[in-house]
Amino acid sequence: MMKLILASNNKNKLREFKEILEPHGFEVISQSEAGADIEVEETGTTFEENAYLKAKAIYDMFCLPVIADDSGLEVDALNGAPGIYSARYAEEGKRCARVLSELEGVPDEKRTARFKCCICYIDASGEKHVVTGVCEGKIGYEKLGTNGFGYDPIFIYGDKSFAEISAEEKNKVSHRSDALRKFEEVIKGVK
């Protein structure tokens, strides 16, 4: 198995990366498991810039393969917000409520949204590889379901929220799985 450091300590992201990458021969460990006790400031203006900042900081510490992502929700009726500020859009537990409040009175056809995920992989030689994944959907009218995390309860994919489908179903269609599928193609040539 090839060891990959995930430039994050987010347990949900770590679980998703492990579920998708371990069957392909990767041992994914968090940055704290690798010994990195840092919080990288996300000062980029795009998902790609923020993913690179995180990956580069951890790579510089260990000179080992690192994967980082930056992802978020883009709502068309909110001019792409919360976007790169998705994790900081409101305090924990109130982000969905803020989006729903800001979309009050917005009709169904204008509630289009997408989850976007940018993955930056820095290989053992220090070369950067970037892929982006997208999952199109819309914003519902209330929180639905108990699975998932973040904006999953209000993001409608098909006729269910991401929080109403199983992790296995979500991993087949999510923005992160789309990016990881693209990443798998990249990694085949650079392991």
Which residues are part of the catalytic machinery? Answer: 70
Identity of residue 170 = K
Long-range CB contacts (< 8 A, 24+ apart) of 10-13?
12/149, 12/150, 13/69, 13/176
Alpha-carbon distances of 33 from 14, 36, 108, rounded to whole Å? 11, 7, 44
Residue at token pair 């537990």: 93
Q: Concatenate the DSSP letters of all residues of 125-165 into one string.
A: T--EEEEEEEEEEEE-SS---SSS-TTGGGEEETTEETTTS
164 contacts 144 by C-beta, under 8 angstroms:
yes
Q: How far apart are CA 48 and CA 84, in angstroms?
A: 10
Q: How far apart are CA 97 and CA 117, in angstroms?
A: 22
* Residue 109: φ, ψ to 5°: -70, -15
